[in-house]
Amino acid sequence: MDVFQAIDERHSYRGAFTDEPVPSDDLRAIVEAGLEAPSGCNAQSTRFVIVNDPQLTDRINAMPEANTPIRQARAFIVCIVDRNPPDVYKGLSFQIEDCAAAVQNMLLAVTALGYATVWIDGWLRKDGRAETLGHWLGLPTGKTARILLPIGRPAETVQRKEKMPFEERAWFNQYGSPVSLSEQ
Ligand SMILES: Cc1cc2nc3c(=O)[nH]c(=O)nc-3n(C[C@H](O)[C@H](O)[C@H](O)COP(=O)(O)O)c2cc1C
- The residues that bridge with 76 in the sheet, in sequence order, are 51, 150
- What is the bridge-based pairing of β-strands 47-51 and 75-82? antiparallel
Specify the ligand 1 atom closest to the Cα of 122: 8
pLDDT 10s digits, 149-176: 999 999 999 888 999 999 999 999 999 9
Higher pLDDT, 7 or 182: 7
pLDDT 10s digits, 33-61: 999 999 999 999 999 999 999 999 999 99
The residue whose C-alpha atom lies closest to atom 3 belonging to ligand 1 is 121
Q: What is the mean pLDDT of the chain?
A: 94
pTM for the structure as a whole: 0.95
The residue whose C-alpha atom lies closest to atom 28 belonging to ligand 1 is 119
Q: What's the CA-to-centroid distance between 121 and ligand 1, angstroms?
A: 8
Pocket of ligand 1 (CB under 6 A): 11-12, 14, 118-123, 161
The model's confidence at residue 8, banded by pLDDT at 50, 70 and 90, is very high
Which pairs with CB-CB distance under 8 Å and at least 24 residues apart come from 39-43? 39/94, 39/97, 39/98, 39/101, 39/102, 40/88, 40/89, 40/92, 40/93, 40/94, 40/97, 40/98, 41/88, 41/89, 41/94, 43/88, 43/94, 43/95, 43/98
Question: If you write DSSP's letter for every residue of 23-55 in order, what string do you get?
Answer: -HHHHHHHHHHHHTS--GGG----EEEEE--HH
Q: What's the CA-to-centroid distance between 148 and ligand 1, angstroms?
A: 11
**Can you give the residue range of the structural domain that contains 30?**
3-182
- Confidence (pLDDT) at 64: 83
Give the rounded distance of the alpha carbon of 161 from its chain centre.
Answer: 17
- Confidence (pLDDT) at 76: 97
Q: How many domains does the chain have?
A: 1
pLDDT 10s digits, 78-97: 999 999 999 999 999 999 99
The residue whose C-alpha atom lies closest to atom 7 belonging to ligand 1 is 120
Q: What's the CA-to-centroid distance between 174 and ligand 1, angstroms?
A: 29
CA separation for the pair 94, 151 (Å, rounded): 26
Q: What's the CA-to-centroid distance between 31 and ligand 1, angstroms?
A: 19
Mutate to test the pocket of ligand 1, among 96, 119, 126 (most ligand atoms within 8 A of CB): 119
Q: What is the CATH number of the domain that holds 82?
A: 3.40.109.10
> By the 8 A CB rule, do 125 and 99 touch?
no
Q: Is 104 helix (H, G, I), strand (E, B) or coil?
A: helix
Higher pLDDT, 181 or 141: 141
